[in-house]
Amino acid sequence: MRAVTYVRNNTVELREKPIPEIAADEVLLKVGGAGVCHSDIAIIGMGDENPLIGSTLGHEVAGTVDKLGADVQGWKVGDRALVALILSCGQCRECLAGRDNQCETVSPRDSLAPLSPGIGVDGGMADYIAVKAHHLDPLGDLDVVAAAPLADAALTPIHAINSVRDRLTGDATAVVLGLGGLGHMGLQILLATTGSRIIGLDTDAEKLAFAESKGAIAIPSDGEAAGKILELTNGIGADVVFDFVGVQPTVNTALAAVRNGGAIRFVGLGGGSFPYLAGSDPSLPWGVNIERAYGGTRSEMRQAIALARDGKIGVEVKRYSLDDAVQAFDDLHHGRVQGRAVLVP
Ligand SMILES: [Zn+2]
Ligand SMILES: [Zn+2]
């Protein structure tokens, strides 16, 4: 089968690999769609010593059940399924407490990231993927191409949003920094599940037009953005800022636009930073709650699927044939993708 393989620093190639054998508790999934994420670009840029070299990429994977292991129950050939982002153990303290995105078994404290398809085991940018049956969620009649990005691009924003849901009242203001793969889903989730005023920021005019068409206020992401947010909130600032980019300008905007006692969720991995001064620090308002959000739980995955099945959220998909994977990586890297690039085998 064909498999998008990370071969060396900043290089992926379509390689021929054997169709995986499945264990008794696994399912062979015929991949219908695999999303391309900025994290994939970050992963392949981690140098020539990266232990992930040689593996198949792809952590946003949907498809149809092709073959069942001997012990698998509850699935039949032809069923549509979404592969979990985090391949949690289901048994540790965090999993049992419903925080399976922080699974102790597959997410050691010093690990690069929790175990995921394409991050530690072969991912779904291929014709087939072998997955433990308990790492699949049913998609019903959802289109597998449009559903694949839900695994990260909807799950991760939902998790960040749920962590501040009590703040997102009808009189609150939430800011979405970056309207790319995750941001354009986060914006829709906020609009669909809260009554708050939503402000979307991006540097790209087309992405701003998308935000406006969905009912958000759109502001160009530049040095004046924080001032405009303060203006819109009578000088008080936003209740919650979601930074789906994480580059220095968006980190600066988040800090400058959040209100006293507000919250920031840093999701994007763009390498921005801020100094924390324990004392009278003018750069961080009093009472601000900050979380470095990662992924989401299986329960939140079900929420993402339900919102998509109800038509309340939808991924803007840019389709690429699996054979054009290198082009898709290149287009994403150069900011030429609106919404999410999805590889279709
Ligand atoms: Zn991702
Ligand atoms: Zn666990």
- Mind listing the pLDDT tens digit for each residue in 2-42? 999 999 999 999 999 999 999 999 999 999 999 999 999 99
Domain membership of residue 35 (yes or no) is: yes
Instruction: Give me the domain span that covers residue 41.
Output: 2-153+296-344
Q: What is the whole-number distance in angstroms between the Cα of residue 39 and the centre of ligand 1? A: 5
Q: Give the model's pLDDT for residue 85.
A: 98
Q: Give the model's pLDDT for residue 171.
A: 98
pLDDT band per the 50, 70, 90 thresholds, residue 53? very high
271 & 327 share domain: no
Q: Which ligand has its closest atom nearest to the C-alpha of 86?
A: 2
**Domain CATH for 193:** 3.40.50.720
Domain membership of residue 177 (yes or no) is: yes
Strand, coil or helix: 334: coil
Give CA torsion, residues 258, 264, 266, 270, to 10 deg. 10
Q: Which ligand has its closest atom nearest to the C-alpha of 93?
A: 2
What's the number of domains the chain is made of?
Answer: 2
Q: Give the model's pLDDT for residue 72.
A: 98
Q: Give the model's pLDDT for residue 45.
A: 92
Domain membership of residue 147 (yes or no) is: yes
Q: What is the whole-number distance in angstroms between the Cα of residue 12 and the centre of ligand 2? A: 31
21 & 132 share domain: yes
Domain membership of residue 41 (yes or no) is: yes
pLDDT at 276 over 90: no
**Domain CATH for 32:** 3.90.180.10
Q: What is the whole-number distance in angstroms between the Cα of residue 309 and the centre of ligand 2? A: 28
pLDDT at 295 over 90: yes
Give the residue-averaged pLDDT of 95-123. 94
CB atoms within 10 A of CB 148: 33
Give the residue-averaged pLDDT of 122-148. 98
Q: Which ligand has its closest atom nearest to the C-alpha of 114?
A: 2
Give the residue-averaged pLDDT of 339-345. 96
- Spatial contact of 178 and 201, defined as CB atoms under 8 Å apart: yes
Q: Which of 129, 269, 101, 244 is nearest to 176 (CA)?
A: 244
pLDDT band per the 50, 70, 90 thresholds, residue 199? very high
91 & 200 share domain: no
Beta-carbon contacts of residue 36 (< 8 Å; ≥ 6 apart): 60, 125, 320, 325, 328, 329, 332, 337, 340, 341, 342, 343
Q: What is the whole-number distance in angstroms between the Cα of residue 89 and the centre of ligand 2? A: 4
78 & 108 share domain: yes
- Location of structure tokens 């800022």: 241
pLDDT tens digits, 222-257: 999 999 999 999 999 999 999 999 999 999 999 999
Domain membership of residue 158 (yes or no) is: no
246 & 328 share domain: no
Give the residue-averaged pLDDT of 130-150. 98
303 & 285 share domain: no
112 & 217 share domain: no
304 & 268 share domain: no
Backbone angles phi, psi at 227, to 5 degrees: -60, -40
191 & 310 share domain: no
Q: Which ligand has its closest atom nearest to the C-alpha of 298?
A: 2
pLDDT band per the 50, 70, 90 thresholds, residue 290? very high
136 & 41 share domain: yes
Domain membership of residue 159 (yes or no) is: no
Q: Give the model's pLDDT for residue 278.
A: 87
202 & 279 share domain: yes
98 & 218 share domain: no
